Amino acid sequence: VWLQHPDRDTVDGVVYAPGLGRYINRNEQTLLNQFHKPIAAASYDKAQLTPFFKLMNHLFPDETERDWFIQWMAFTYKHPEERPHVTPLHIAPDTGTGRGTLVVILQKLLGRWNVKRTNLADMMKGAYNEYLDRSTLVIVDEIGSGGHKYDAMAVLNEVLTESDTNVNRKFGAKGTVDIYCNFLFLSNER
């Protein structure tokens, strides 16, 4: 019955394309867009935002930096198909400052399935870079590198500026994919 139902949706393949609709027509094929975000209910109760702004004030004591970061978050949410090529770096020498809570907020805002995590050491190894595939945000947890800073800059320059790259997935196929992800760097070292 399901195979014959007139309202059944049929697609020819899948794609990850932030900013486009659920179904995409490309080269005479209908593709299912695997990108989606959580549906957020609008709220106009400013009291509900008080904990968020307390966290922002704590993590970013400088008002200009705080306002910029909030705008960066808004851009990342509103325009998942665009890469601003500007990467925030948050340095907090002390642990337990609330950055883990910030990561949870970003995951809830963007969808946990769209947020990947890695660290600079794994980026430098270059063996697997699947964090670039099907993500709109990559959180680089520890940017302290034991390697040479120019080696790190070469790796970072490629992933921060290119619009596509070859991806090597662990236990998966290699291939060229479009890159949509923005990055957030975190470190405990100045």
Query: What is the reported pLDDT for 143?
Result: 73
In residues, how long is the chain? 190
Residue 176: Cβ within 10 Å count: 9
Ordered DSSP codes for the chain? -TTT-TT----SEEE--TTS-SEEEETTEEEEE----PPPPP---GGGGHHHHHHHHHH--SHHHHHHHHHHHHHHHH-TT-------EEE-SSS-SSHHHHHHHHHHHH-GGGEEEE-HHHHHH-S--GGGTT-SEEEE-----SS-HHHHHHHHHHHHH-SEEEEE-TTS-EEEEE---EEEEEES--
Query: What is the reported pLDDT for 52?
Result: 92
**Is residue 37 within 8 Å of residue 114, measured between CB atoms?**
yes
Query: What is the reported pLDDT for 142?
Result: 74
Q: How far is CA 46 from the centre of its chain?
A: 27
Query: What is the reported pLDDT for 18?
Result: 95
Q: What is the pLDDT along the chain (190 residues), one digit of tens a residue?
A: 888 888 888 899 999 999 999 999 999 999 999 999 998 777 788 888 899 999 999 999 999 999 999 999 999 999 999 988 788 989 887 777 788 999 999 999 999 999 999 888 777 776 777 888 899 999 988 776 555 555 667 667 777 777 777 777 777 777 788 889 899 988 877 7
